[in-house]
Amino acid sequence: MTQTTDKPSTKLPPSTHEFADIIHRLQAGGSMLPDTHENLMQIIGIYKAYAVPMDFYSRDLLYIAEQVFLNPFPFFKYFISQEYLDRHNHYAGDDADLIIWRGVATAHPELLEFMEKGETGKKMPNLFHHLFHDRINMEFAEACMRAMLWHRHMYAPVNKFDAYLDSEEYKGNADKAIKAYFKGNPAMLALYKVFPDMFLQEVRQLCYYSNQGLFWKVMAPVFFEMSDIYDEGGF
């Protein structure tokens, strides 16, 4: 003889949580925000507003990694060279390896305008824009890069990049780069000989400058293209 138990028929009362509607929508497989025209417009606007400085983040991070490198006094690391502003993004323009954005491959026109006039709308030497903080906030980009660096073992062993940065191959390549950069500078070469790990760690950080710059190099065209599609009546 088997004994059966009745299922409880008590129903939970409706949630009184202030974000109950959001929680229920997410549990049902919906989006964080209701699918409305106004919300879509705001989200696309955020993407576009972020993409313009992101274009600068990408170019300046690569400039720091490749040109400033181990300069012990990088006072002008945010003063990106014209070469890097003119450098073609591989995911935009007619000569792109993979066209994501149909716009220009060089620095975005709105970025160039902001760099020239800033929020004040006045043309000033770049140094004045920098000192008055009337410029792109590159400190934010570096903070994002350092957060990735400090948590770089989080995704091991999936993340092969970090495994390489701890390998003997990396140390050998970094050693060649450090010695080439300080060639003819006996003081810095002597300092490297005394504190090799400090220099190797600094080059690891520069690898993350480059890594983060390459990531934003892809994301900026994605956001620009989404904004253009919306302006054309898409979505």
- Model confidence over 160-193: pLDDT tens digits? 888 999 999 999 999 999 999 999 999 999 999 9
Say what the pLDDT of residue 56 is.
Answer: 96
Say what the pLDDT of residue 13 is.
Answer: 74
Say what the pLDDT of residue 34 is.
Answer: 86
Say what the pLDDT of residue 12 is.
Answer: 64
pTM of the model: 0.85
Residues of the chain with pLDDT under 50: none
Say what the pLDDT of residue 5 is.
Answer: 60
CA distances from 4 to 1, 7, 117 (A): 10, 9, 78
* Distance between CA atoms of residues 73 and 203, nearest Å: 15
Nearest one of 234, 204, 220 to 48, comparing CA atoms? 220
Say what the pLDDT of residue 9 is.
Answer: 61
* Distance between CA atoms of residues 77 and 65, nearest Å: 10
Say what the pLDDT of residue 121 is.
Answer: 86
Say what the pLDDT of residue 8 is.
Answer: 58
Domain limits, the chain: 37-231
Say what the pLDDT of residue 27 is.
Answer: 86
Indicate the DSSP class of residue 166.
T
* Distance between CA atoms of residues 57 and 144, nearest Å: 11
Say what the pLDDT of residue 124 is.
Answer: 86
